[in-house]
Amino acid sequence: MMIKKLSLIRNFSIIAHIDHGKSTLADRLICLTGALDEREMKTQVLDSMDIERERGITIKAQTVRLHYHAKDGESYFLNLIDTPGHVDFTYEVSRSLAACEGSLLVIDATQGVEAQTLANVYQAFDFNHEVILVLNKVDLPAADPKRIKKQIEEVIGLDASNTIEVSAKTGFGVDKVLESIVKYLPSPRYGHKEKPLKAMLVDSWYDIYLGVVVLVRMIDGVLKKGQIIRLMSTGAKYVVDRVGVFTPKMLQIDQLGPGYFGFITASMKDVADTRVGDTITDERFPCADSVHGFKVAKPVVFCGLFPLDSASFEEMRLAMGKLRLNDASFFFERENSTALGFGFRCGFLGLLHLEIIQERLIREFSIDLVTTVPSVVYHMFMIDGGFKELHSPADMPETMKIASIREPWICATMITPDDYLGAIFKLCQDRRGIQLNLSYFGKRVIVTYDLPLSEVVFDFYDHLKSISKGYASFDYQMKDYREGDLVKMSILVNGEQVDALSMLVHRIAAEKRGRLICEKLKTLIPRHLFQIPIQAVIGGKIIARETIPALRKDVTAKCYGGDITRKRKLLEKQKEGKKRMRQFGRVEIPHDVFIQALKI
């Protein structure tokens, strides 16, 4: 197959907020260019996982090459990348955008500009993308294109006069999108066939028949079967088994040239070896420098995952290994808890990533899970001059050895109707937020806050949706680490520490948080034959306490009369027995209590 001229190639991605019709537009473009016929088409054809289809989100970046005969008589290759839209996968999105020259910005004609619309379009600007504005869902009765165009100009600052109005569902206006891609988006800016091989690794996943499949964007040189390649970050060498493109079906071709998107397989066994953003080069004639911007994805949120039945531990270990094959950013290590037994300490890119892994373990491997409270990575500076990263509160050293603790902060952007502004201010203030900006456009408001990540990870998003009746949208990015007056709060049940409920909290909020957890545990832990004290402790100081009363057997029931001393003797005997029982008795905490206790 001949390598196409760079001027006849267009590489672009579709960026949008969740549920604005990004995948539906991709389906329509695939259908119009004849990549799949009507019989093979299905909704969200590029979203391969069931979770992606159900939630209407993209988790893995997908690519497809479309063959389009334009009105100017030329035949073009359009390489479309459908990228994840969620903030958890920002690094993958940035690498996908770095591989393209242009973007389609899809905005819902009924909803308008949302928080993730802003985040994604600013990323596209950072990569000097040419942006084509597409207003979707114009066929709906609630659509207001004139108002949304004005909003685009006010909020984003783009000229909305050339906005293409489409309905991806019915197909109205989609042919104009194809012509605009050819006319307005630039062809690849660089690429020479004669230069040494240089390609960027865009994504990778595991196939049970082929091993690791690697998605690449060619920059210089040619990539073909039998070639020995090297990954520049790890130095690992492989022999290329097959080369091809997605149409969206896998199609093997002879070679990939400059400007192309395609896939390669090379008998790779582990996805962890193929890092997103890495540079692929020829082993014998390597390129001089790697692609700019590569970094290893680091977990941001940590939590413990334990099997409900301890006999399922081996099964869970195999399941975690299989998930790791398809997701290199997922990190796990073995952990032992007094209350929960054997399990794993896991690292995630964010809360959505955590939810997806949990759901896949339950759905694909039928494992019932117990999840500990999510925590973030704290930076600890020790008195002896040392530095330590703290992933779990249970691993925290003694207080006298610590000079200071720094916690991660985020910059959060919320877009909401102005009716709910007061409630959102209160929510952010309660979570130690610092207001940065407030700007109105029509009846909607953009609010920007600095917030500690630890205050956001558990239920901030649920509360935000609840107080705004689902209208507020939320987006965040990591900002920096700041010193805070943080203390470790432990929960004692019958004098024994429960590791799964330990947490790092700000000293100001510690007493309130401790009291709420103790009150909740009192209602959740079943009563025993002896009294159970529940205490929240910081260091040696008890800051909150609740007591679960004992179940009391009526020992005087058999006394039908006689002297009062007979009854008193039986009651004293029972009291001694309860004292002894409390000393030696164990409190069994049901597994579902751990999650319920943290929903306060």
Task: Express each pLDDT in 254-285 by its tens digit.
Answer: 888 888 888 999 888 777 677 777 889 998 88
Task: Express each pLDDT in 429-473 by its tens digit.
Answer: 988 899 999 988 777 888 999 999 888 876 787 788 788 877 787
Q: What is the mean pLDDT of residues 350-367?
A: 81
Q: What is the number of other CB atoms lying within 10 angstroms of the CB of residue 68?
A: 19
Cβ contacts of residue 108 below 8 Å, gap of 6+?
Answer: 17, 19, 20, 21, 114, 136, 137
User: What's the rounded Cα separation, in Å, for the pair 12 and 463?
Assistant: 36
Cα torsion 554, 560, 563, 568 to 10°: value is -10
* H/E element, 116: helix 115-126
Cβ contacts of residue 597 below 8 Å, gap of 6+?
Answer: 501, 517, 520, 521, 524
Q: Which of 45-59, 145-159, 166-180, 263-277 has the lowest mean pLDDT?
A: 45-59
Half-sphere exposure for 205 (CA within 13 Å, toward CB):
10
Could you give the angle at which helices 90-98 and 115-126 cross, rounded to 10 degrees? 40
Cα–Cα distances (Å) from 323 to 359, 360, 373, in that order, read 12, 8, 21
Residue 286: band (very low, low, confident or very high) from pLDDT cuts 50, 70, 90: confident
User: What's the rounded Cα separation, in Å, for the pair 349 and 6?
Assistant: 36
Q: Give strand pairing partners of 537.
A: 490, 542
Let me know how long the chain is: 600
Residue 57: band (very low, low, confident or very high) from pLDDT cuts 50, 70, 90: low
User: What's the rounded Cα separation, in Å, for the pair 300 and 453?
Assistant: 9
| Nearest alpha-carbon partner for 9 in 259, 263, 247 | 259
Do 543 and 510 touch, CB atoms closer than 8 A?
yes
Please give the mean pLDDT across all residues of the chain.
81
Residue 592: band (very low, low, confident or very high) from pLDDT cuts 50, 70, 90: low
Percent of the chain with pLDDT over 70: 86
The owner of tokens 């070679």 is 255
Cβ contacts of residue 68 below 8 Å, gap of 6+?
Answer: 33, 75, 76, 78, 178, 182
pTM, to two decimals: 0.71
Task: Express each pLDDT in 517-561 by its tens digit.
Answer: 898 888 888 887 778 899 999 888 899 999 988 877 776 667 776
Residue 1 has pLDDT above 50, yes or no: no
Output the pLDDT for position 43.
Answer: 53
Output the pLDDT for position 243.
Answer: 93
Q: What is the mean pLDDT of residues 389-418?
A: 85
Residue 349: band (very low, low, confident or very high) from pLDDT cuts 50, 70, 90: confident
Query: Phi and psi (nearest 5°) for 455?
Result: -85, -15
Output the pLDDT for position 389.
Answer: 86
Task: Express each pLDDT in 97-150 by its tens digit.
Answer: 888 889 988 888 888 888 777 777 888 888 888 899 999 888 888 888 888 888
